[in-house]
Amino acid sequence: MIPVPLLVFVMAAWCAVYLADTLLKSSATYRIGYESWLASHGLALSPFHVRWQTTVFNRLFAYCARINPGALYLWFTSGLVFGIVAMLGSVVLLVRTLQQTLTQMTTNNPRVASQQALQVVVPGVNLPTNQLAYFFSALLLSGVIHELGHAVAALREQVRVNGFGMFVFVVYPGAFVDLFTSHLNLISPTQQLRIFCAGVWHNFVLCVAALAFLFLLPVFLFPVYSTGGGALVIEVVQGSAADGPRGLSVGDIVTGLEDCSVTGVEDWNRCLSHLSRTPQTGYCVPTSSLQPSWAHGRPYRRLDGTMDCCSNNSLTDLCFSFMNPQSKSSVEKEYACVPVRKMVTGTRLCRTDDDCGAHSRGAAICVTPSLENQTRFIRVTHPPNTHMLFVGYPPHLQYAVSLTNFVPRFGFLHLDLPVFLETFCKYVVSLSGALAVVNSVPCFALDGQWMLNALLEATLVSVVTDRQKRELIGFFLLLAGSALLAANVALGLWMVTAR
């Protein structure tokens, strides 16, 4: 469900803005001055919508349109080809997304949701509130680049740009360009296509550029940040299993989980996933150090069928199972409740007693923590500190710790700078790509409407000579595209907010 405090804050803010606007416009004293101030600053207010428009950037757009006419022609012609392909691809993608959404609704399979290419984003629901700054800044950048493409393409085709502006609708920011309609109607359909496709083309280029920057980020930051030496801890959830005097701290470098080497965040996630799927490993312990503990194991069966031999109040002891080499039975296990840190410090991993015989000078046996199903005992290596010992579900450790691949070479460098760049680039990739897809859909009020109309005028003139028939074909195609997009948005919102 949508968080009530966030919803109340948004509604209260818009009500206050709209109330102030209404009072000033109805006041005999301030109405003229207020309306002239709005007009001089290019501002327009309506319920849940504020818009700002200016002509300040017109010279910049005109300069960009004159840089290299030949190169710009190839650039926007490439955008025309991409726009047509994207229009067809967006329809296929929306149909596939709709099928996946319906499948998830009928089967309640979370794996289907994780495979969806497009998902509705609702701040505070499936978008964490601490990520809102990344989301809105990336969305605004994607919108500005989108409209920059339209403006430069229009000026290159001799279509006047009346102005550039930005807006906020409810909480979502955006941008727009105001084109001179009379000029736009005079040029050929192919020229119109270059203008209409320029927005999604620039969104695609921005997406590729952000993806390349994200891939090359270790190279760009190499002089000040190193990678490949471990995963740097940048945040530990307070009160979690990783918190505490013997837990992880901000600035620690994790280099291993059990026998799984960690050189970065990807290894950290891979190792935790591997440990959660494989059986619990054992530890080679000298028989002499374990001998006194044999008599103290008082095993009892848990509800899930596994065995335990320690008190529930014990915070330092753990129950271990092993095969007693002095026992006549080679199948029956014995159990011992011993101090866990003393037991596993400096010991090798093993699966059977034979693994210990090959690496130990004296007699040693393989002891295994006796834990509940899906619970794992994990030694986290973060030198020069001693191992952090974790007992629980591996995903809990994954959620309790935030890490980064970048380790600062100098002490004055901020730990969060690479994280900020990575996160922002990821949002730009996803949002700019999403804008390219959504605006390509043949749908009313989107770029896809004008792209489709211009495409039909450029291709169907010799086949369908009657203009009204071409418009009718375009209307039904737009109606189908609008219904497809509306169905995706409606079902996506329902899936996000109702569950």
Q: Which residues are catalytic?
A: 147
Q: Which amino acid is at 468?
A: Q
DSSP 8-state class, residue 348: P
Task: Categorise residue 29: left if φ over 0, alpha if ψ from -120 to 50, beta otherwise.
Answer: alpha
Residue type, 29: T
* Sequence-separated (6 or more) residues with CB below 8 Å from residue 476: none
**153 SS3 class:** helix
Provide the token pair at 330. 């080679």
As beta bridge partners, residue 284 has 366
How many other CB atoms are there within 10 angstroms of residue 89's CB atom?
A: 14
Cβ atoms within 10 A of the Cβ of 318, count?
23
Residues 174 and 195: their CA atoms lie apart, in Å, by 19
Do the Cβ atoms of 308 and 266 come closer than 8 Å?
no
Question: CB–CB of 374/393 below 8 Å?
Answer: yes
**Buried b vs exposed e over 448-467: b needs ≥16 C-beta within 10 Å?**
bbbbbbbbbbbebeeeeeee
The alpha carbon dihedral of 447, 453, 454, 460 has a sign of positive
Alpha-carbon distance of 91 to 110, in angstroms, equals 24
Query: Is the distance from CB of 268 to CB of 403 less than 8 angstroms?
Result: yes
